[in-house]
Amino acid sequence: MNIWKDLKNAFSGKDPNQAFKERMQQEQQQVLDSKDKEGVRDKIIGSKDFFTKQIDQVQKRIIQMKQEYDEDKALNNPDFDFSVYFTSFNIKYSQLIRAKYSRGDGVKTIFTDCAVLMETVTNFWTPDMDYSDGGDMNLMALMDAISLGILANIDNDAFKELGKVMQEKEYKDFIIDYLINSRFPDYPIGEELQVPDSKSLQLLSEIIKEKNKSEAVKKLKLYLDKYYYTLESLDYEYNTHKFENGRNFYGYWCWEAGALVKIKGLDDSILRNNQFYPYDFVHWKDQDTSVKQSVNTPIFSTKPT
């Protein structure tokens, strides 16, 4: 029967091996898909190739920006506002860190980027702007950079430098103050929130103030499950994986959750499977004890004044 079927297909112009070829192609594609997902931490797009392309694009832009920065700095123009550059560097390094972690890169290979990110938030304050009421400061940018600095064990001097700038600018926020104080104990912790009506920030404040560790981690789980992945918390990054083939998506990692676990010494086993919780970043010491205890590798010289 198969012989006659093959002869019939031959005379009809059909390839008798077509079904076999299609099956082999499907199996090969499955192998490729499996390799593309191997080791990837992000569970939303979950493609190593996707994040590699994102990383390449961000790195190219960073190189261009550094060249532009050096050119403008060489002009020695005292009126030039270099905070514009550092705001842009902050955005790009934040994207780079998230994309690398999403792809599955080793945590310690990201530490230098975290040090640079801390450097950007020390330098992205606009001259002569009043920050006592928040100004136009991006609270989430500050929280992300400081949280990553804590997780990556960035040198204490970086926190002191940022703290000095914030005190000079009279910028106060209970959550940010608490995070800085965890590494710079002399830094005062205020009581007010920059965004007092934010439910997610109110919950973070409760977690910080909670002295019972078991209750604190339960509230942190609630934060991750119900309050983090919202437009209020993620702002312009919210739902970016759904638009333009994810062109502006790098991962939705909740660095502040990891920082609070580390500061308060919480048992995060109930958080491990949450898709936004950076478990590996919190536990890098457990995975590689050879990593140095502090990292401080600035790439920018002092910002021109």
Handedness of CA 162, 169, 167, 208 (dihedral sign): negative
Taking the C-alpha atoms of residue 102 and residue 48, their distance in angstroms, rounded to an integer, is: 8
Q: Is the pLDDT of residue 68 over 60?
A: yes
Poorest-pLDDT segment among 77-86, 91-100, 242-251: 77-86
Taking the C-alpha atoms of residue 104 and residue 273, their distance in angstroms, rounded to an integer, is: 16
**pLDDT on residue 291:** 45
Condensed to tens digits (0 to 9), the pLDDT of residues 107-132 reads 999 999 999 999 999 999 987 787 87
The model's confidence at residue 13, banded by pLDDT at 50, 70 and 90, is low
Average pLDDT, integer, range 208-214: 98
Global confidence as pTM: 0.84
**Ordered DSSP codes for 63-113:** HHHHHHHHHHHHTT-TT--THHHHHHHHHHHHHHHHHHHHHT--GGGGHHH
The model's confidence at residue 14, banded by pLDDT at 50, 70 and 90, is low
Taking the C-alpha atoms of residue 30 and residue 36, their distance in angstroms, rounded to an integer, is: 10
What are the structural domain ranges in the chain? Answer: 1-38, 50-287
The model's confidence at residue 41, banded by pLDDT at 50, 70 and 90, is very high
Q: Which amino acid is at 123?
A: N
The model's confidence at residue 289, banded by pLDDT at 50, 70 and 90, is very low
